[in-house]
Structure formats: C-alpha cells, structure tokens
Structure 1
Amino acid sequence: MSKSDRKIQMFTKEYYAACTLGGIIACGPTHSSVTPLDLVKCRLQVNSKLYKSNIDGALKIIKNEGISKLFTGVGATLIGYSLQGAGKYGGYELFKRFYSTTLVKNEEMAYKYRTSIYLMASASAEFFADIMLCPFEAIKVKQQTTMPPFCNNVVEGMKKMYAAEGIKGFYKGITPLWCRQIPYTMCKFTSFERIVEAIYARLPTKKNDMSALQQISVSFVGGYLAGILCAVVSHPADVMVSKINNERKFGETMAIASKRIYKNIGFIGLWNGLTVRIFMIGTLTSFQWLIYDSFKAYIGLPTTGH
C-alpha cells in the first residue's frame, strides 16, 4: 500500500492514537478469552498439589464451583489488560520512534542498532503500562487464588482491597510485575521484530509487494514463535507475582516476602504451570499480533516489522 493511500499519516498524534486503540483491541479480549487457563495456572502456582493436571483442574472447578467459575477474574482481566495493551502497543510505537530519532544520527544507524532500540522502546512502554495494569492484576490474582473467591466483581474487589490495605494493596505486586512483564515485553517485541524480519528475508516476495493477508499471516507465525520465548523468560516472575499477591503479609517488605516464598517453593517451584503458560502465551501473543496488525492494515497503516 502506498503512502498516498493511507488514511492516517505515520508518526502523527492520530497514528499513535490508532496504535493505542489497536493495543486495547488486541490485548483486552485475548487475555479475557483464556481466563480459564489462567485460573488453573494461577491456582497451581500457589498450590501445585491442588490439581493433578490442567484438565483435572478445569473439571474440578466445573464440578465443585460451576462452569461459570472458570471465568473467575475475567472482569479484572479485561479492564487491566485493555489498559496495559494501550500503554504497551501505543507506547512501543512512540518510544521506538523517539529512540530512533534522538539516540542515533540517521536511518542507517537506526537500522544498525535496531535491536537495542526495540529493547529500550518495549521496556519503556511496559514500565508505564504495568502501572495501569497492576491494580487489576492484584484483584484478579486475589480473586482467582482464594476459595471462595475474594470478590465477585471488580468493583467489590477494589472496595475490599482498599478497605483492607489502602492504595498500597493495589501496588504491592508492582515490583515482581515489572520483573515479569518488562523482560516478557522486551522479548515479545524484539523477538517478534527480528523473527518477522527473518521470515520476510527468506520469502521470494518483498513485504511491500505482499497483500495485507500475507503480511498478517507472517505476523501470526512470528507472534507464536515470539510467544514461546516470552513464556519461558517471564515464567519465574509470573509465579512470584501470583504467590506475592496471594501470600504477602501486611507490612512485609518485598525482599522478605520473596525470600520466604522462595524458601518454601524452591527453584523447581518457580516453574509450576510452565506448560500451560507456554500454550497460553504462545496463543495469546500470536493472536495479539494478528489482531493488532489486522487493525493497522484495516485503517491503512503498514503492518509491524521490516
């Protein structure tokens, strides 16, 4: 698609607003759709003996709590990850452009150091995105890992958490969330950019000569491969986020809580639920890139990646 055909000019306020909206559409619904997998994963992270397997966990939840309880935490997930998607995708595009034009002298240098730019841009975007996500992640984890659930909906959860711990209760997991999400997003965006670049380099047709559907297909494949890497890189921190949000004692420092929890679960415990997370994150990441780049193509913007 030529520049003259685009409805939105690149690197304008409208462009970043469109990317932000694309991030909301890509992240909120996809994370919400895998709530049953996330529910079983979080419970196994907190207590590895609770279920024999992921299927066993889902069946026991249906039997003991009802099929609707498979979506425990879906409200907080939808709100939290919609906000995070806005900051992550919109912020990534913004910071990528910022670092490409301020830290290097020209486009040639920007291309040479593109991996570093991808890493810095994704880390910067995720830092701010997590500030928006953290309160809802705290409610979601608390709701999913307590039986009966800590709350029935987001509003009730916010009221109860604020009454018990104040504003600090919403952000007691921010440090492990950053430790989980920033490496995850750095891996997600950087590996995606480089994987997609490698795919295009090996195809007989140049990207600009490919149809939107062909480009989106490349994004889907690149997204799934990137998602597998993301799941492995960020899983130990994901376990700690679940454990800390559920088990951190009031007034306990992050360092003391982390040390106590690690002593109880050990190194092996940091990998509880990895298999389901690889499946979940791989699927999530691929569909997020599929949706995000489909949205960009629909409004006349180029898909992500060289």
Structure 2
Amino acid sequence: MVMEGRVSEDLTPRYYALCAIGGMLSAGTTHLAITPLDVLKVNMQVHPIKYYSISSCFTTLLREQGPSVLWKGWTGKFFGYGAQGGCRFGLYEYFKGVYSNVLVDQNKNFVFLLSSASAEVFANVALCPFEAVKVRVQAQPCFAKGLFDGFPKLYASEGTRG
C-alpha cells in the first residue's frame, strides 16, 4: 500500500508471495480453461493451408487425433501462464514499493506504469520456455506428450535458444 510517497510497513515478503500465488492461480486457471481454443489457433497458424477455418481445424484434429488433442499443451499453459501471472502480480507490487520510495516526487501514475512495465518484462521471460514447449506439443503430434517430456527434448534439440 502506498501512502504519501512512502511504502507502508505491511509490504512484506509474505504479501508479495500472496500476490504471486493469486497471480499464478488466476492466470494459470484462466489460460488452462481456453486450452482447446489455443490448440485450434496454434494449429491454424502453423498449418494454414490444412486448417483454413476454425471448424475445419476442429473437425480434422478430432478425426485424426481424437478428443484429447484439444487439451494438448495444457501443462505448458497452466504452469507457463501461472509463472507469468505470479511474476506479473507479485513483482508489480514489489516494484511499486521500490519505485514509490525511489521516485518520491513523481506522479503515482508514472510509478504504477514503471512498476507494471518492469514486472511484465520478468513475467514474459518466465513464460517463454513454457510457451516454446507448448506450441511444439500442440503443433507437432510426435514432439512430446507435454511439458515434462517436452522440456528435455527441446533442450536436447535446440539448447537454451530453443
């Protein structure tokens, strides 16, 4: 909580952890819920000629791979967006406290903008490896079953740049 340009004493590591957990649960579960739509989107982007519409993508994937295909990559979405949400919510509060103390005479909106931008950088970096595996799992049927066997496979084939 910011009061008169200073951070109140209740901004503790426990508070930041609770914000991070809230972000993990909210972002992870909402993105998990839209996994079937994401599977369709990714396949349409990767194979635009084969999947020329949502309905063609849906029916073709179901026919070729069965209903479970709609949940491919769910672990990458849940844990990846969970990590992103945790960083976004937890680090936003942390940076808000830091910048409020450092930039005492600045407009609060500037402090909030800077805090949000700083947290988002870390959040997106946290998401990237999960998203890289998720896209391959969704678009390449033989790549891996999910996140846990996909990470080692991606690292073995492409290294840290993958």
| 1:59 and 2:59 correspond | yes
The offset of 1:117, in angstroms, is 2.5
Alpha-carbon distance in 1 for matches of 2:136, 2:101: 42
**Pairing 1:192-211 to 2, within 5 Å after superposition:** none
| 1:155 and 2:148 correspond | yes
- 1:175-214 CA-partner distances (Å, limit 9, x unpaired): xxxxxxxxxxxxxxxxxxxxxxxxxxxxxxxxxxxxxxxx
SS of residue matched to 2:107: helix
| 1:110 and 2:120 correspond | no
Provide the aligned length of Structure 1 versus Structure 2: 154
Which residue pairs with 1:182 in the alignment? none
Aligned-partner residue type, residue 90 of structure 2: G
SS of residue matched to 1:79: helix
**Structure 2 contact 44–51 (Cα < 8 Å) conserved:** yes
Query: Judging changes above 3 Å, is the alpha-carbon distance between structure 1 residues 60 and 10 closer, same or farther for their aligned structure 2 residues?
Result: farther
SS of residue matched to 2:135: helix
Identify which of 122, 125, 134 aligns with 2:128: 134
**Pairing 1:1-306 to 2, within 5 Å after superposition:** 10-105=10-105, 109-111=106-108, 114=109, 116-146=110-140, 148-169=141-162
- 1:62-89 CA-partner distances (Å, limit 9, x unpaired): 1221001101111111111111111111
Aligned-partner residue type, residue 131 of structure 1: V
Alpha-carbon distance in 1 for matches of 2:112, 2:47: 36
Alpha-carbon distance in 1 for matches of 2:114, 2:142: 38
TM-score (normalised: structure 2): 0.85
**Structure 1 contact 35–71 (Cα < 8 Å) conserved:** yes
SS of residue matched to 2:51: coil
Aligned-partner residue type, residue 121 of structure 1: S
Aligned-partner residue type, residue 14 of structure 1: R
| Alignment gaps of 5+ in structure 2 | 1-8
The offset of 1:127, in angstroms, is 1.4
**Structure 1 contact 16–93 (Cα < 8 Å) conserved:** yes
- 1:218-265 CA-partner distances (Å, limit 9, x unpaired): xxxxxxxxxxxxxxxxxxxxxxxxxxxxxxxxxxxxxxxxxxxxxxxx
The offset of 1:151, in angstroms, is 0.6
Higher mean C-alpha displacement, 46-55 vs 156-165:
46-55
The offset of 1:49, in angstroms, is 2.5
The offset of 1:37, in angstroms, is 0.7
Aligned-partner residue type, residue 95 of structure 1: F
TM-score (normalised: structure 1): 0.47
**Structure 1 contact 84–130 (Cα < 8 Å) conserved:** yes
Alpha-carbon distance in 1 for matches of 2:32, 2:66: 18
Which residue pairs with 2:5 in the alignment? none
Higher relative contact order (CA 8 A, sep 6+): 2
Query: Judging changes above 3 Å, is the alpha-carbon distance between structure 1 residues 129 and 25 closer, same or farther for their aligned structure 2 residues?
Result: same
The offset of 1:167, in angstroms, is 2.3
| Alignment gaps of 5+ in structure 1 | 1-8, 170-306
Query: Judging changes above 3 Å, is the alpha-carbon distance between structure 1 residues 93 and 55 closer, same or farther for their aligned structure 2 residues?
Result: farther
**Structure 2 contact 27–82 (Cα < 8 Å) conserved:** yes
Aligned-partner residue type, residue 18 of structure 1: L
SS of residue matched to 1:70: helix
Percent of residue pairs bearing the same amino acid type: 40
Alpha-carbon distance in 2 for matches of 1:156, 1:48: 27
